């Protein structure tokens, strides 16, 4: 098991390396800036594909009415709504960023009242008892965390025996010959969209760079196994632009 990261260690923030203690505030600044237009930008930069990717995650999870979900870095609540619509039980939706939670509260549906609890929580240090949840999800959030190993260990700790962790995250392109086109879209088009739709180009420069610094599919699968999760597997979506990773608490 890896030891807790010291605040003076360096970690990736986009293509830069910063002190671990500085990264949370830097990430918070990014999402404070884009929270109000976050969902609109997701549709634009993914050409709507994020909806298909999240549907695929729910199909793999197969929610049940007796399943209690912890959604980490849940932001505006998009994944939580999909979980409820797919027949899932109650949700605890957490995020480290109050602006993202506030944006989600503003979009909450009346029919979900009492079924989604929102909390300002650091995914690296969860305030929940062991064996509290049937499933833990994190969608496009784990690469923004300072200590990814800590997030995985905490997710396993709060899962019930037989519970499942699922992560949806940008990954490594698995279709040869498309790298140049993908890089051009990522580094030119997405920041330009960010400036147009959110007024913050640099936030999306960081988000694109953070994808390139995130471990590839196999390396991230090894991290799940290293955190004590079992039966680890992954599935590529859209040619590896995105990957889903799954692990169980046995």
Calculate mean pLDDT across residues 150-176. 96
Which is nearest to 211 in space by CA: 189, 178, 240, 235?
A: 240
Note the pLDDT tens digit of each residue in 92-139. 999 999 999 999 999 899 999 899 999 999 999 999 999 999 999 999
Calculate mean pLDDT across residues 81-86. 97
Calculate mean pLDDT across residues 47-66. 97
Question: Does 1 score more than 90 pLDDT?
Answer: no
pLDDT bin (cut points 50, 70, 90) of residue 24 is very high
Measured CA angle at 146 (ends 159, 221), to 5 deg: 55
CA atoms within 13 A on the CB side of 173: 11
Conformation bin of residue 48: beta by default, left when phi > 0, alpha when psi is -120 to 50? left
What percent of the chain clears pLDDT 90, i.e. is strictly above it?
93
Question: Does 163 score more than 60 pLDDT?
Answer: yes
Place domain 10-248 in its CATH homologous superfamily. Answer: Vaccinia Virus protein VP39 (3.40.50.150)
Calculate mean pLDDT across residues 132-155. 98
Calculate mean pLDDT across residues 148-177. 96
Measured CA angle at 182 (ends 138, 15), to 5 deg: 65
pTM, to two decimals: 0.94
Distance separating alpha carbons of residues 71 and 93, to the nearest angstrom: 5
């Amino acid at each position: 098991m890896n030891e807790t990261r010291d605040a003076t260690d360096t970690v990736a923030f986009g293509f830069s390396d910063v002190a671990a203690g500085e990264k949370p505030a830097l990430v918070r600044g990014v999402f404070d800036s884009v929270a109000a237009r976050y969902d609109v930008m997701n549709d634009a930069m993914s050409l709507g594909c994020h909806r298909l990717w999240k549907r695929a995650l729910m199909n793999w999870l197969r929610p049940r009415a007796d399943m209690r979900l912890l959604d980490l870095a849940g932001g505006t609540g998009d994944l939580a709504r999909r979980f409820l619509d797919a027949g899932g039980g109650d949700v605890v939706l957490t995020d480290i960023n109050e602006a993202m939670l506030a944006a989600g509260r503003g979009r909450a549906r009346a029919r979900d009242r009492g079924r989604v609890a929102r909390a300002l929580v650091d995914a690296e240090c969860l305030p929940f008892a062991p064996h509290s949840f049937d499933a833990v999800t994190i969608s496009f959030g784990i690469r923004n965390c300072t200590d990814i190993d800590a997030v995985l260990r905490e997710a396993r700790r709060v899962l019930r025996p037989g519970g499942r962790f699922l992560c949806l995250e940008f990954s490594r392109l698995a279709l040869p010959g498309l790298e140049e086109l993908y890089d051009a879209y990522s580094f030119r088009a997405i920041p330009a969209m960010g400036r147009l739709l959110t007024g913050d180009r640099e936030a999306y420069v960081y988000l694109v760079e953070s994808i390139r610094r995130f471990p590839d599919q196999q390396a991230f699968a090894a991290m799940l196994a290293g955190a004590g999760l079992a039966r680890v597997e992954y599935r590529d979506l859209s040619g590896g632009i995105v990957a889903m990773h799954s692990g169980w608490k046995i």
